[in-house]
Amino acid sequence: MRYTLNTLAPDEEVLAIGRFHWTYTLGSYLWLILLSWALVGLYFFIIRTIRKNTTELVVTNHRFIYKRGLIARYTDELTTARILHVTLVQGFWGRILGYGQIVIHSADVGKFGLPTIARPLTFRRALIESGGGAASSDPEPEDYKEAA
């Protein structure tokens, strides 16, 4: 989160941080174990580990930041007020294990998907609330709210 902390404005505060789910790390180790004899497993393990450690997904009270890259840095920074629609893609195993993918529709950037993250409902809620409180028009029942 070094990039994000270096770019925060004085009145800006972090509302949510997106993190890769433990299944992503498990998949990296499976590549390493199952195909290490062909060096393909080692290659995929290194690539996936670098991707995990160099990706930042952050929602602040003013903007959304998606930073990735080790040597070359690629960032998408979007004012949360310009987000039109947030879609959560969460299959059967995602519901059971608590991971999912968020797709953001914006007036400026268009449509783009984020990597699969842990606790996607919390991240989605932070995106919606930081953009002006749109979540208040569609409240979730108490039974479905995630524990903080």
pLDDT tens per residue across span 90-118:
999 999 999 999 998 887 777 888 889 99
For the chain, the distance separating the N- and C-terminal CA atoms, rounded to the nearest angstrom, is 20
33: which 2 tokens? 């174990």
Q: Please, what is the average pLDDT of the chain?
A: 83
pLDDT range class, residue 132, cuts 50, 70, 90? low
Token output for 117: 């993250």
Q: Which residues are within 8 A (CB) of 69 and not within 5 positions of it... i.e. 6 or more apart?
A: 54
* Bigger pLDDT: 118 vs 79: 118
DSSP letter (8 states) at residue 20:
B
**What pLDDT band is residue 38 in, cutting at 50, 70 and 90?**
confident
- Angle at which helix 22-35 crosses helix 40-54, to 10 degrees, equals 160
How many C-beta atoms lie closer than 10 Å to residue 69's C-beta? Answer: 13
List the structure tokens of 37: 């004899």
Which residue type occupies 121?
L
Instruction: Decide if 21 contacts 113 (C-beta within 8 A).
Output: no
The closest of 61, 62, 67 to 18, measured between CA atoms, is 67
Spell out where 7-148 has E strands. 14-18, 56-60, 63-68, 74-79, 83-89, 99-106, 110-113, 117-118
Helix (H, G, I), strand (E, B) or coil at 83: strand
Q: Give the CA angle between residues 65, 66, 71 to the nearest 5°.
A: 120
Hey, which of 37-51, 84-98, 122-136 has the most confident mean pLDDT? 84-98
